[in-house]
Amino acid sequence: MAHINGYVVAAGEKKKASQPSWNWVLINATGETKALDVDKYAVMHRVQIHARDLRIIDPNLSYPSTILGRERAIVLNLEHIKAIITSDEVLLRDPSHENVIPIVKELERRLPVGNQAHHAAHNDADAGEEDESPFEFRALEVFLEAICSFLAARTTELETTAYPALDELTSKISSGNLDRVRKLKSATTRLTARVQKVRDELVHLLDDDDDMADLYLSRKLSCACSMASSPNFYLTSPTIGSKISRASVATVREDENDVEQLEMLLEAYFMQIDSTLNKLTTLREYVQDTDDYISIQMDNRRNELIQLEVVLGSGTVCSAFYSLVAGIFGMNIPYTWNDNHGYMFKWVCIVTGAICVFSLVFIMSYARFKGLMGS
pTM of the model: 0.73
Assess whether pLDDT exceeds 80 at residue 156. yes
Q: Per-residue confidence at 359, pLDDT binned at 50, 70, 90?
A: confident
319 versus 102: which is more confidently predicted? 102
* pLDDT for the residue numbered 153: 96
* pLDDT for the residue numbered 11: 43
Query: For 14-23, 93-102, 242-251, 348-357, which range has the lowest pLDDT when averaged over its residues?
Result: 242-251
3-class DSSP assignment, residue 71: coil
Highest mean pLDDT out of 75-89, 122-136, 338-352: 75-89
251 versus 82: which is more confidently predicted? 82
Architecture in CATH for domain 20-110: Beta Barrel (2.40)
Q: Is there a contact between 33 and 91 (Cβ–Cβ < 8 Å)?
A: no
Distance CA 263, CA 7 (A): 42
Structure confidence by residue, pLDDT tens digits, 315-357 = 888 888 888 887 777 776 666 666 666 667 778 788 888 888 8
Helices (H) and strands (E) in the chain, counts: 10, 9
221 versus 120: which is more confidently predicted? 221
* pLDDT for the residue numbered 343: 67
Q: What does each C-alpha distance from 96 to 21, 101, 106 come to in angstroms?
A: 15, 6, 14
Q: Indicate the residue type of 317.
A: V
Assess whether pLDDT exceeds 60 at residue 7. no
Residue 6 exposed, middle or buried by CB count within 10 Å (0-12, 13-18, 19+) = exposed
Q: Indicate the residue type of 68.
A: L
Q: Among residues 103, 61, 94, 57, which one has the least CA distance to residue 76?
A: 57
Please report how many Cα atoms fall inside a 13 Å half-sphere around the Cα of residue 73, on the Cβ side.
19
Q: What does each C-alpha distance from 144 to 25, 191, 193, 272 come to in angstroms?
A: 18, 17, 17, 10
Query: For 74-88, 276-290, 295-309, which range has the lowest pLDDT when averaged over its residues?
Result: 295-309
Distance CA 153, CA 309 (A): 51
Q: Among residues 33, 54, 40, which one has the least CA distance to residue 6?
A: 40
280 versus 232: which is more confidently predicted? 280
Question: Could you tell me if residue 345 is left (phi over 0), alpha (psi between -120 and 50 degrees) or otherwise beta?
Answer: alpha
CA 19-43-100 angle, to 5 degrees, is: 100
Q: Indicate the residue type of 243.
A: K
Q: Is there a contact between 286 and 166 (Cβ–Cβ < 8 Å)?
A: yes
Residue 84 exposed, middle or buried by CB count within 10 Å (0-12, 13-18, 19+) = buried
